[in-house]
């Protein structure tokens, strides 16, 4: 028997969203995941404003993905205006991006801990373990970025403040002391995940798909050819009333559906051979936390940051040059595109966030899955719906 299931307000995810399923004999034949958050219009808001405010305003898109938007915005303006950034400023931005990756990924683990640990005492013990690590990530964001949530030190041209050697040494020691905690939390997460799969009787390859992967770098981000992106409206893809209710676009890099995020980075930059499924995606995201802190340790131990880290050249361009700023965010590749005129004002702005890209991956992952497990598939992608409706 075939039936249609519509759920709106998917629990344990960030932002109001919906799930449409066509189900036959308990199996999903077709599924769509979509945003229901009202569009805020950040791209329009930026037009006509001084290009230097792009990192500030875009960081307000989301309280979780704030630094990644600041970094991508600054890099986009710099590319449009041919502003050279001090290499060590780029390293500090990379460090901030990795800190927010861990901060976000661990928050996702807290959100899904209700699935993983049905016993409240076990869940609370895991959350306390994870929060100790998030506190260190927050310390990095605050000490280097200027604030935990919105990092004012990320500027067009680099990073506003140098780091005193004493502070850098303190941060390095804190990161080194946190690595064992990360390893322990990774094992706890694995145990919880295995327990969930066994308890719910979930297939090991639940949510497997055959889509290609999309990422630009393992840790930081490299330019993309924005002209190779195609965009479709909900009216072109979604059925029935969803054509007017969904608030997100559907981007297609190179004109095709792809998956972006932790698994994409593993496959494209480490030669990882994916087995497929969302359990694997959970595990690879958790592993990225440990790898991110190791990279932060490397940056802090091998470089000094006590000199000028900001190119103070005022942004200016010809209004035609398209600047692309890319950052490998926690959920995948985050892209900002901008055009700036001779007076330094923004005349065009476009943002493509990872969750927008992964809407199509989620739809593909839902096909053939048990309908009762559909929410587990959605949650594994850690969608940020607020960003998707920027």
Task: Count CB atoms within 10 A of the CB of residue 235.
Answer: 10
Q: What is the pLDDT of residue 266?
A: 98
User: Once rounded to an integer, what is the mean pLDDT over residues 222-227?
Assistant: 95
Interval 335-379: pLDDT, tens: 999 999 999 999 999 999 999 999 999 999 999 999 999 999 999
Judged by DSSP in three states, 257 sits in coil
Q: Of the given ranges (146-150, 213-217, 267-271), which has the lowest mean pLDDT?
A: 146-150
Return the higher-pLDDT residue of 389 and 48: 48
Interval 126-180: pLDDT, tens: 999 999 999 999 999 999 999 988 889 999 999 999 999 999 999 999 999 999 9
User: Once rounded to an integer, what is the mean pLDDT over residues 280-291?
Assistant: 98
> Given a cut of 80, is residue 215 above it in pLDDT?
yes
Return the higher-pLDDT residue of 88 and 6: 88
User: What is the per-residue DSSP string for 186-221?
Assistant: HHHHHHHHHHHHHHHT--TTTT-----EE-S-SSS-
> Given a cut of 70, is residue 203 above it in pLDDT?
yes
The owner of tokens 């004002």 is 345
Cα separation of 269 and 146, whole Å? 31
Cα separation of 207 and 313, whole Å? 48
Cα separation of 180 and 78, whole Å? 38
> Given a cut of 80, is residue 328 above it in pLDDT?
yes
Interval 29-84: pLDDT, tens: 999 999 999 998 999 999 999 999 999 999 999 877 889 999 999 999 999 999 99
Cα separation of 84 and 74, whole Å? 11
Q: What is the pLDDT of residue 1?
A: 67
- Residues with Cβ within 8 Å of 159's Cβ and at least 6 positions away in sequence, in order, are 89, 92, 93, 144, 153, 309, 310
User: The whole model's pTM is what?
Assistant: 0.96
Q: What is the pLDDT of residue 15?
A: 84
Identify which of 345, 351, 286, 341 has the alpha carbon closest to the alpha carbon of residue 317: 341
Q: Which residues of 135-162 are buried (b: 16+ CB within 10 A; e: fewer)?
A: ebbbbbbebbbbebbbbebbbbbbbebb
What distance separates the 2 farthest-apart alpha carbons in the chain?
68
* Mean of the per-residue pLDDT values of the chain: 96
Q: How confident is the model at residue 224 (pLDDT cuts 50, 70, 90)?
A: very high
> Given a cut of 70, is residue 332 above it in pLDDT?
yes
Cα separation of 234 and 128, whole Å? 40
Q: What is the pLDDT of residue 222?
A: 97
Cα separation of 182 and 195, whole Å? 20
> Given a cut of 80, is residue 261 above it in pLDDT?
yes
Q: What is the pLDDT of residue 343?
A: 98
Contact 224, 216 (CB under 8 A): yes
- Residues with Cβ within 8 Å of 255's Cβ and at least 6 positions away in sequence, in order, are 228, 230
Q: What is the pLDDT of residue 248?
A: 96
Which 3-state string (H, E, C) describes 40-104? CCHHHHHCCCEHHHHHHHHCCCCCCCHHHHHHHHHHHHHHHHCCCCCHHHHHHHHHHHHHHHHHH
Q: What is the pLDDT of residue 9?
A: 81
Q: What is the pLDDT of residue 103?
A: 97
């Amino acid at each position: 028997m075939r039936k249609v299931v519509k759920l709106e307000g998917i629990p344990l995810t960030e932002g109001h969203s919906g799930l449409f399923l066509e189900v036959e004999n308990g199996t999903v034949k077709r599924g769509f995941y979509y945003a229901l958050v009202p569009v805020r219009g950040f791209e329009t808001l930026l037009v006509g404003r001084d290009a230097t405010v792009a990192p500030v305003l875009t960081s307000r898109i989301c309280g979780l993905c704030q630094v990644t938007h600041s970094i991508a915005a600054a890099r986009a303006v710099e590319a449009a205006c041919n502003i050279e950034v001090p290499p060590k400023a780029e390293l500090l931005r990379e460090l901030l991006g990795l800190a927010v990756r861990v901060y976000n990924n661990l928050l996702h683990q807290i959100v899904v801990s209700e699935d993983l640990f049905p016993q409240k005492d076990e869940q609370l013990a895991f959350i306390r373990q994870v929060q100790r690590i998030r506190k260190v990530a927050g310390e990095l964001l605050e000490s280097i970025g200027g604030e935990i949530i919105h990092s004012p030190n990320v500027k067009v041209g680099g990073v506003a403040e140098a780091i005193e050697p004493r502070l850098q040494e303190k941060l390095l020691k804190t990161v080194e002391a946190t690595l064992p905690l990360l390893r322990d939390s990774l094992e706890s997460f694995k145990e919880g995940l295995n327990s969930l799969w066994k308890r719910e009787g979930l297939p090991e390859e639940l949510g497997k798909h055959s889509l290609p992967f999309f990422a630009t770098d393992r840790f930081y981000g490299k330019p993309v050819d924005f002209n190779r992106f195609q965009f479709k409206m909900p009216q072109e893809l979604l059925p029935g009333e969803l054509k007017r209710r969904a608030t997100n676009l559907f981007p297609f890099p190179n004109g095709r559906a792809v998956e972006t995020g932790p698994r994409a980075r593993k496959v494209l930059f480490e030669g990882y051979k994916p087995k497929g499924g969302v359990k694997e995606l959970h595990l690879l995201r958790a592993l990225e936390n440990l790898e991110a802190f190791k990279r932060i340790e490397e940056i802090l131990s091998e470089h000094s940051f006590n000199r000028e880290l900001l190119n103070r050249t005022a942004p200016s361009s010809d209004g035609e040059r398209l600047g692309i700023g890319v950052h490998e965010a926690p959920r995948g590749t985050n892209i900002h595109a901008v055009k700036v005129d001779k007076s330094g004002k923004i005349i065009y702005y476009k943002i493509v966030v990872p969750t927008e890209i992964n809407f199509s991956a989620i739809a593909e992952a839902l096909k053939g899955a048990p309908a009762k497990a559909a929410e587990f598939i959605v949650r594994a992608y850690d969608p940020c719906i607020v960003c998707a409706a920027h």
